[in-house]
Amino acid sequence: MSDALKDLLGRSAFSFVATIVHLGAATMTDVPVDNHTAVVQVDHVLHAPEAFAHLENHRITLQLAQGVSLPAPGESYAFFAEGLAFGESMAVVEIGRLPVESVEPHANLAMAAGVTAGAFNPLLHEMNQDKLRVHMQQADAVVVGRVSGIEKAGPSTRSEHDPDWWRATIDVFHVERGAVSPGPLKVLFANSLDVRWYQVPKPKAAQGGLWLLHATAGDLNVLAPFQLLHPEDFQPTQQLDELRKPVGD
């Protein structure tokens, strides 16, 4: 069950226990309706973005998946879904469903802990850690070190989406993986706050931690051998032990 649940969680941003109220109907006036369009009553939100954590007792539109049995009005399931349309109400599309009994233990634990829409928080944390482990394995170098210098690296291009490359010197004192030696290491990063780059880590003076580095290529390789590319490329040092565990552990 855990693998099936993880698969569904990996493909959906919203899960909820709901009861089918009507088939061939919708809570929004301007979404297409067919026999797989259902009005459902949300009985319990299992996991959701914060804005949708309090949908209990609301009726929403659920576009049921094709190729699986059509539930009857009055039946309840744990539905896994992603967003489709948002207006005076909202419509979501089914990614999958499970029997309510299979998610009850998760929901009960979260309720006992007083957590809203947190039935799968432990599983989601595990999944996020696994994603990070995979990302770490795909990095060309993983080091622990502290920033000892920052400088502008090369000219800017004439685009508002210019990355504005800067270069950090990281004093490496532990190499977890990659062809890197302890000591100073040059790392490029996009200092731009442009929409395309603002989430890339921007090293600060004396900042220490775990750095997931990606090899540069072409013109960038002249500026530095590695770069930061992804929001998760900087982690607290304490994450290292966790990320050393095998994926799925």
Nearest to 162 by CA among 207, 195, 121, 139: 195
Distance CA 153, CA 189 (A): 9
Q: Is the dihedral of CA 25, 30, 33, 38 positive or negative?
A: negative
Closer of 28 and 172 to another protein (Cβ): 28
189 in Cβ contact with 153 (< 8 Å): no
State in angstroms the smallest separation of the CB of 88 from another protein: 5
State in angstroms the smallest separation of the CB of 32 from another protein: 7
Tell me, what amino acid is at 77? Answer: Y
76 in Cβ contact with 9 (< 8 Å): no
State in angstroms the smallest separation of the CB of 37 from another protein: 10
Tell me, what amino acid is at 180? Answer: V
Closer of 77 and 197 to another protein (Cβ): 197
107 in Cβ contact with 118 (< 8 Å): no
Closer of 142 and 228 to another protein (Cβ): 228
Closer of 82 and 242 to another protein (Cβ): 82
State in angstroms the smallest separation of the CB of 143 from another protein: 26
The residues binding another protein (CB under 8 A) are: 13-14, 28, 30-32, 48-49, 51-52, 63, 81-93, 155-162, 192-196, 198-199, 231
